[in-house]
Structure 1
Amino acid sequence: MKKQLLALAISAAVFSPFTFSHQAGDILVRAGATTVAPDESTSNIFAGGADLGVALTIDKNTQLGLNIAYFLTDNINVELLAATPFTHDVNFSVNDPLGTGNKVGEVTHLPPTLSVNYYFNDPSSAFQPYVGAGLNYTFIYDEEFTGANRDAGLSDLSLDNSAGLSAQVGMDYMVNKTWHVNASVRWIDIDTEASFDVGGADGRIADIEIDPWVYTISVGYTF
């Protein structure tokens, strides 16, 4: 009898599919590289009521990406994206229009994003693709002009915070029940406007659509 029970146990272990999937109640914590690549469009810079005929471009930046997710069901989770602060170079859209160099300055932001994701595949699959949508709130701070622009009379740069929608596609590849590798691509709606002082006159950029693509590769652990 003992030999028969042992044989049945071995047979079950060999022939039963291993369940890779996340389950309701699981908590995932991930860390990896996140790149924010703006797909920006801006209106022209106005200074003292005059259109300078110049817009802006914004460089990409990569930081440590962090997120945590909680599974409400076996197929649906709620996920919070966080990261260390992103700092972007801001440049004139044409080369050196003011004689102060092409770089306008720098801005720093944090874009926490809360998403709901749906996982498609059967629980026995190690490959777990998903889609998601959510809300973003971007905190923008530490805005500053370059020294050359400050010397030219530009000061008090300020950009408004932004609230908008987000969407993403991603996948988890389950190494085992505890560890997985994650990759995702997000689009985030980030719109703002800028104000500044130029020689005692008001300056502004009325419409800055940053709208970045956000790329993340990370390693995750399931609790």
Structure 2
Amino acid sequence: MKLKQAVTGIAALACMTTAAHAQSAGSFFVTSGWFHFAPQSSSQPLTVTSIGGSPTNITEANTGATLSSGDTLGLTAGYFITDHIATEFVFGIPPSFDLQGSGSLEQFGKLGQAKQWSPTLLLKYYFNAPTATFRPYLGVGVSRIWFTDEKITNGVFQANVLHGPTAVTTDSSWEPVFNLGFTYSFNQHWFAGASVSYLPLSTTAKLNTAAATPVGTLNVQSQTKIKLNPIVTYVNIGYRF
């Protein structure tokens, strides 16, 4: 009987020890889930900066653009440095955003589209004990932002406003990320989570147009600065090692 009690006690202690270290220093975790990007967007008026190679500064009054929301599959991988501090790398399939006209350009509807890449590194502080089922956290980090597949898709806008075939490029940048969320553990390995992040993000879209004019085709360069400032939500399922 004593031997049986001793074995039972050792087994229970082992289970407790395993659970205690499920969210503690030295443990790894991965998550997969759904990102929703909600840009709080606005833009400066379109400004013509060059015509036929000659510098200009012509502002097209009451022109602007906003970005639509986007959704995509996300993945993260993290490591607990201490029982309360973890690092996490966040990445996913780049979402596609539609560029919508505003002001005098609102009549054209969708002007173009682009895909956003934003791999992110976070440093997160977890509250409550490592063995707690519910653990809220705060995080801060940095994201590398760039866009691909930028293009004008509205032929009427391109012909009547830009006056010719137009190529689009955008700036890349490093941006801060502010993050908060929580995890809820089902057992020592599996958990669910949700988070909200904010990125104070802006980019400059540069347009290069082969414009048809009375004197022939001229290269016209223009640009606009677009503030995105997205609020990003992430709902996920995770696994700890």
CA contact under 8 A between 2:63 and 2:105: conserved in structure 1? no
Amino acid at match of 1:150: Q
Q: Spell out structure 1 runs of 4+ moving beyond 6 A.
A: 10-17
Identity %: 27
Correspondence 1:150 to 2:151: no
Return 5+ residue gaps in structure 2 as ranges. 50-57, 212-218
Structure 1 distance, partners of 2:150, 2:85, is 38
2:182 partner SS: strand
Amino acid at match of 1:155: T
Amino acid at match of 1:210: L
Q: 2:227 aligns with which of 201, 206, 209?
A: 209
Return 5+ residue gaps in structure 1 as ranges. none
Q: 2:189 aligns with which of 140, 157, 178?
A: 178
Q: CA deviation at 1:12?
A: 6.2
Q: 2:103 aligns with which of 94, 100, 114?
A: 94
Q: Tell me what 2:236 maps to.
A: 218
Q: Tell me what 1:38 maps to.
A: 39
2:138 partner SS: strand
CA contact under 8 A between 2:146 and 2:170: conserved in structure 1? no
CA contact under 8 A between 2:23 and 2:131: conserved in structure 1? no
Q: Tell me what 2:53 maps to.
A: none
TM-score under structure 1 normalisation?
0.88
> Would the alpha carbon gap of residues 79 and 203 (structure 1) be closer, same or farther in structure 2, given more than 3 Å must change?
same
1:5 partner SS: helix
Structure 2 distance, partners of 1:15, 1:40, is 49
Of stretches 6-15 and 170-179 in structure 1, the one that deviates more from structure 2 is 6-15
Structure 1 distance, partners of 2:86, 2:130, is 15
Over residues 146-184 of structure 1, what are the superposed CA-to-partner deviations in whole Å (9 max), with x where a residue is unaligned?
A: 141334425011111121111100111111111110101
Q: CA deviation at 1:94?
A: 3.2
What is the number of equivalent residue pairs in this alignment? 220
Structure 1 distance, partners of 2:18, 2:79, is 25
2:132 partner SS: coil
* Superposition map of 1:12-161 within 5 A: 19=20, 21-47=22-48, 49-94=58-103, 96=105, 101-148=108-155, 149-152=157-160, 153-161=164-172
Q: Tell me what 1:187 maps to.
A: 198
Give the CA RMSD over aligned residues: 2.5
Structure 2 distance, partners of 1:185, 1:86, is 17
Task: Pick the structure with greater CA Rg.
Answer: 2
Q: Tell me what 2:215 maps to.
A: none
Q: CA deviation at 1:20?
A: 7.4
Structure 1 distance, partners of 2:72, 2:86, is 24
Q: CA deviation at 1:15?
A: 9.8
Structure 1 distance, partners of 2:62, 2:171, is 22
> Would the alpha carbon gap of residues 21 and 120 (structure 1) be closer, same or farther in structure 2, given more than 3 Å must change?
farther
1:85 partner SS: coil
CA contact under 8 A between 1:21 and 1:123: conserved in structure 2? yes
